[in-house]
Amino acid sequence: MQPTTSRTVPVITCDGTGVVSHAGTVLLAELADRVGLTAALSEATDSLRERRAGHDPGRVLVDVAVAIADGAVTISDVQVLADQRGLHGSVGSVASTPTIWRVLDAVATAPGMLAKVRQARAEARDRAWLARGELTGSELPGSRAAGKLIGQVVIDLDATLVTAHSPGFGYHPLGAWLDNTGEALAALLRPGNGSNTAADHLTVVDMALAQLPDRWRSKPILIRADGAGYSHALIAALSKQGLEFSVGYPVTDAVRDAIAQLPEWAWQEACNADGDLREHAAVVEITGMLDLSKWTKTCPDMRVIVRRELPHPGATLDAFEIRDGYRYQAFTTNTRSGQLAFLEARHRAHARVEDRIRTGKDTGLGHLPSRHQNINEVWVELTLIAADLLALSQSMLLTDQPELHRAEPKTLRYRLLHTAARITHGQRKVFLRLAEHWPWALALAKAFTRLRTIPLPA
């Protein structure tokens, strides 16, 4: 038998200097500085600063968010930034674990402080979008559906369950994500045993809209939600605000009766995410076959569209679906124009929010650090900042790197954030020398170059 080539057996020493292994986190921290997030948070939390020589609470919040983006799931994990000596400033620049706990508690208990943090995020987002426009030629990329770009702001609402290691039922946060770029706009942390109310959805919609720059709030905005978000109150409120919506609609007996009356020729072929025809799938509008008189005043433009598709093998069908073998789903929208196949594909693109939630749970949302809800609410806000820093990096700095531009956080951590480097000094400068043979070192260096075209706030 041919012997396997043996591994190199290195001599182990502990005398390396200037070596760091999370060099890419500097990109996120510097991005926060250049879009004004660090300064805005510092101003918002200035009243919490115990002494001038102490840690700046705004900087502490940014460091925690950067660490979460880097994979931190506990407060103590933030020390990975401090352990990379010299990478995020001099020794002591990154706050200790007890100091971070005190800052989170202060933000959680100071009246109105969390609202100030959210306002700081909105101010930084305004500057970031302007910078993105300068770098890429477009402040906001289009959302995609049926192989086309949607030239409007698209906000997806959805909820998830988060297990908590404390008495109770865990948590059931409801969030809003910007489908155009993956930015995390807002989240409401709710008890796990609470109900899914229209009031909660409206609160999150308002919080999400408040995150948009003023100049974008007057432009077309589409709100998408699944059937769990459907309610008369939500639809009426969205319509009153002049917002477009695409929301799951319950398949009631009235909907089933309408479907049963449809001739086969009424069904139109559906399309997939690329815009190609989807085999064994079709759509139809049944607005005129339903009694929508209660909507006449609150939402006169309401439409109901049904999709049918042959289910995958082993799927469970209800009694109505068994009769012809199709699975039926419905949604409602107030968009007046557009082919039914496109409107249905646009609504189905809401499923991308499941990926946002999954990656969000992999970026701090899946592990809340405290037994106290108010501190967990601050942590959730920091997970949103972490998601924003990753999304902004991809949509502003990595547009020339297709794989990294679309990569999930776990991939970004391995390829960029956890890049090894050596810190050296010379010519009155600090040099971060990325590992020469790391496959993505050049991509990271290019991202830094693009980032530094954004001037620091005055």
% pLDDT > 90, the chain: 74
The confidence score (pLDDT) of residue 7 equals 81
Residue 387 pLDDT more than 70? yes
Mean pLDDT of 247-256: 94
The confidence score (pLDDT) of residue 4 equals 67
Give strand pairing partners of 89. 86
3-state SS of 40-59 is HHHHHCHHHCCCCCCCCHHH
Q: Give the C-alpha separation, 121 to 176, whole Å.
A: 15
The confidence score (pLDDT) of residue 3 equals 62
Residue 165 pLDDT more than 70? no
The confidence score (pLDDT) of residue 405 equals 96
| pLDDT tens-digit map of 185-199 | 999 999 887 777 899
The confidence score (pLDDT) of residue 139 equals 96
Q: Give the C-alpha separation, 177 to 388, whole Å.
A: 10
Residue 109 pLDDT more than 60? yes
| pLDDT tens-digit map of 119-135 | 999 999 999 999 999 99
The confidence score (pLDDT) of residue 50 equals 76
% pLDDT > 70, the chain: 97
Give me the chain's average pLDDT, please: 92
Contact 60, 99 (CB under 8 A): yes
**Cβ–Cβ contacts within 10 Å for residue 440, how many?**
19
Mean pLDDT of 257-268: 94
Does domain 142-356 fall under CATH 3.30.565.10? My reply is no
The confidence score (pLDDT) of residue 168 equals 67
Is the torsion defined by CA of 202, 204, 209, 210 positive or negative? positive
| pLDDT tens-digit map of 70-95 | 999 999 999 988 877 777 777 668 99
Give the list of residues 6+ apart from residue 197 with CB closer than 8 angstroms, or none.
Answer: 231
Q: 304's torsion region: left (phi>0), alpha (psi -120 to 50) or beta?
A: beta
The confidence score (pLDDT) of residue 166 equals 60
Give the list of residues 6+ apart from residue 412 with CB closer than 8 angstroms, or none.
Answer: 24, 390, 393, 394, 404
The confidence score (pLDDT) of residue 1 equals 59
Token look-up 């600063």 returns: 49
Give the list of residues 6+ apart from residue 56 with CB closer than 8 angstroms, or none.
Answer: 42, 49
* Type and span of the H or E element at 233: helix 232-240
The confidence score (pLDDT) of residue 429 equals 84
Q: Give the C-alpha separation, 446 to 405, whole Å.
A: 13
At residue 323 the predicted structure's pLDDT band, cuts being 50, 70 and 90, is: confident
Per-domain boundaries in the chain:
19-119+369-451, 142-356
Residue 389 pLDDT more than 80? yes
